[in-house]
């Protein structure tokens, strides 16, 4: 079994869910008391928030590169970054790292392609939604047209992520705000939505809007980690 390296802390809330899902998934596959061998480098959320709010892609890449190299030295066989946003600099933060990155868009892309949708919405941090490069990459990896919320809606969703979800605060008011944006996106032609921030699936569930497919990037990524850990 391969050793999994997680770049976590973005946030600790979602990182804990990654840890739970990966170990639960591996136990189901391996049986008994068996779980995973996992190394976590939990970064300072304050640094991540500063990079995100300031659009400091280069600083983020340099910071995360140090963490990826540390995981490699510690014995990880592959790496997951527990954040959609920072996959925007995945190539940069993996420079000089010899072990592979299990990219969150690959795991999500398989599910989106399998659903055969022609247009999906992408929601996440404002840095994710407003980045043309990220949206273009999603379009290519998902094989579908991508739309994002309006700038005003992006501000609402982003504020909830940082002020509430990052601190494990989940309210019905915030859930309603997200679902309202989803309905607006559906009215614009979206046939589903990619929950492109690993905190969002902790607030909004498929059962909240059963007829509008939601692609839970956290769960899809964790499931891919289980498969990779057990692969020859």
**Domain map (residue ranges) of the chain:** 4-104+220-230, 105-216
Q: What pLDDT sits at residue 226?
A: 98
Q: What pLDDT sits at residue 58?
A: 92
142-161 pLDDT tens trace: 999 999 999 999 999 999 99
Identical fold for domains 4-104+220-230 and 105-216, yes or no, is yes
Instruction: Spell out the CATH class of 4-104+220-230.
Output: alpha beta
Q: Is the confidence at residue 85, as pLDDT, over 90?
A: no
35-50 pLDDT tens trace: 999 999 999 999 998 9
Q: Is the confidence at residue 2, as pLDDT, over 90?
A: yes
- Residue 53 pLDDT class (50, 70, 90 cuts): confident
23-33 pLDDT tens trace: 999 999 999 99
- Is the pTM of the predicted complex or chain greater than 0.85? yes
* 85-89 long-range Cβ contacts below 8 angstroms, 24+ apart: 85/10, 85/52, 85/124, 85/125, 85/127, 85/128, 85/197, 86/7, 86/10, 86/48, 86/60, 87/134, 88/57, 88/127, 88/128, 88/131, 88/133, 88/134, 88/137, 89/57, 89/58, 89/60, 89/61, 89/64
Topology of domain 105-216 in CATH is: Rossmann fold (3.40.50)
Mean pLDDT on 170-196: 97
């Amino acid at each position: 079994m391969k050793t999994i390296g997680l770049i976590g802390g973005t946030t600790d809330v979602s990182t804990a869910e990654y840890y739970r899902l990966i170990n639960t998934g591996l136990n189901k596959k391996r049986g008994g008391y068996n779980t995973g061998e996992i190394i976590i480098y939990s970064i300072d959320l304050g640094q991540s928030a500063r990079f995100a709010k300031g659009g400091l892609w280069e600083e983020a890449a340099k910071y995360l590169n140090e963490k990826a190299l540390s995981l490699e030295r510690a014995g990880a066989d592959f790496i997951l970054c527990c954040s959609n946003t920072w996959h925007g600099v995945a190539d940069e933060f993996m420079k000089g790292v010899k072990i592979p990155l299990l990219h969150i868009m690959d795991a999500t892309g398989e599910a989106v392609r399998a659903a055969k949708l022609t247009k999906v919405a992408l929601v996440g941090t404002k840095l994710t939604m407003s980045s043309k490069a990220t949206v273009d990459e999603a379009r290519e990896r998902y094989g579908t047209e991508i739309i994002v919320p309006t700038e005003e809606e992006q501000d609402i969703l982003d504020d909830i992520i940082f002020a509430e979800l990052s601190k494990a605060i989940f309210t019905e008011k915030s859930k309603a705000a997200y679902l309202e944006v989803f309905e607006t996106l559906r009215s614009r032609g979206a046939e589903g939505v990619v929950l492109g921030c690993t905190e969002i699936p902790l607030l909004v569930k498929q059962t909240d809007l059963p007829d509008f497919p939601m692609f839970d990037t956290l769960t899809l990524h964790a499931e891919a980690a289980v498969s990779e850990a057990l692969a020859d």
